[in-house]
Amino acid sequence: MSAKRLGIGFIGTGNISSAYLKAILGKDGLPGFAMLDVRGLADMREDAAQARASEFGLKALSVDDLLADPEIALVVNLTIPRAHVGVGLKCLAAGKHVYSEKPLGITFAEGRRLLDAAEAADLRIGSAPDTFLGGSHQQARAIVDSGALGQIVGGTAFFQCPGHESWHPDPAFYYDLGGGPMLDMGPYYITDLVNLLGPVARVSAMSSRLRDERTITSEPKKGQKVPVRIDTHVTGSLGFANGAIVQIAMSFDVAAHKHPPLEIYGTEQSLIVPDPNFFGGQVEVRQRGREQDWVPVAVEQGYADGNYRSLGVADMALGILDNRPHRANGALALHVLEVMEAFEHAARDGRTIAIKTPVARPAPLAENIRDGRLG
């Protein structure tokens, strides 16, 4: 395991920052990521940065001071989706590598601009989600790679819920430009599918928007209404370069359902993959033939027993320190962003959209795990 450490800083200290910091610092029974040296936290709301810094015993900085700190090599960008690219460009201009929360941007064009700027500056881009690096998803990947499923036929991917206004303290951005179920939850599912099956080649879709406004039922804004500016129920098909066809549905309008999050169908076996919003979960397979039952698969890969948000940051940091590729990389995030934007265009135009960005499947995480730890 590398003994080197990389200085990192955070811009954006909202809800998700707590999960990142717990994983990095080793809270809630997690082992922590020793290669990450958190040098400061910043937010446009200085009081929010100070509160989060006090919670974790860290230093709060202004955004300008964080970007000027020569000890910070990598910035974790946890701002709202509409700010991801603008903040990312500022970080690149300051000479920092950038790891962004998902999605990479709210349009393919701005995501492309971010990657072009990083390439010109000889800096790296990383992006959530990193849950595909979790042990259960890496175990599923190992099953696919073994050839046990036979020829891959297709699969299904379902995220369907009533919406986020019942639990999120400030849910308006989920229903504004840059929000919606596809840009919000699609990254988890599509990234995991690319990890399992490789690049997407084409997309077809239909979508709907049932309401023009939503009522917040969570605190502290209970009773307030927010306008809906995006489609909230998106369905379609992903055609993969390997020939597989996966049906997908992402929705903020569904009361309940019983579909597994991900299923992969092969000619010899089928595979159930757990929720890609989490690192662990039960993996199951079933062989061809009705007499067979679904069989649980033992998860032998690491990082399946907790919320390891920032695993992708740790892998990126080691990639920078050891001069090797990192897995939750900009090319993968840009490919996923193009796929998600294609759903909007396919639904609007009633046609199949070809996906043009090339992407390679990330290497299995096991290649860089020693003694159960990333190193």
pLDDT digits (tens, 9 = 90+) for 160-179: 999 999 999 999 999 998 89
- The range of the structural domain enclosing residue 248 comes to 134-301+335-354
Query: 154 and 111, same structural domain?
Result: no
Q: Is 146 in the same domain as 280?
A: yes
40: in domain? yes
The verdict on 62 and 74 lying in the same domain is yes
Q: How far apart are CA 227 and CA 221, in angstroms?
A: 14
Residue 181: inside a domain: yes
Counted domains in the chain: 2
> pLDDT for 90-121, tens place per residue?
999 999 999 999 999 999 999 999 999 999 99
CATH, residue 172: 3.30.360.10
What pLDDT score does 2 carry? 53
Does one domain contain both 27 and 169? no
Whether 60 maps to a domain, the answer reads yes
Same domain, yes or no, for 104 and 252? no
Mean model confidence pLDDT for the chain: 96
Q: Please check whether residue 148 lies inside any domain of the structure.
A: yes
d(CA 239, CA 343): 12
The answer on 348 and 209 residing in a single domain is yes
1 assigned to some structural domain:
no
Q: Are residues 285 and 260 in the same domain?
A: yes
Per-residue pLDDT tens digits for 27-46: 999 999 999 999 999 999 99
Q: Which residue has the higher pLDDT, 190 or 372?
A: 190
Q: What percent of the chain has pLDDT over 90?
A: 94
Do residue 111 and residue 207 come from a single domain?
no
Q: Is residue 296 part of a domain?
A: yes
Residue 22 lies in a domain: yes
Residue 257 lies inside a defined structural domain of this protein? yes
Together in a domain, 194 and 290: yes
User: Predicted confidence band at 375 (pLDDT cuts at 50, 70, 90)?
Assistant: confident
Is 237 found in the same domain as 275?
Answer: yes
Q: What is the mean pLDDT of residues 291-314?
A: 94
SS (H, E, C) 222-249: CCCEEECCCCCEEEEEEEECCCCEEEEE
Give Cα separations from 149 to 190, 207, 276, 295 (angstroms). 20, 32, 20, 14
CATH number of the domain that residue 22 is part of: 3.40.50.720
How many Å apart are CA 125 and CA 88, to the nearest integer? 9
> Quick one: 341 and 368 in the same domain?
no
| 73 and 160 co-located in one domain | no
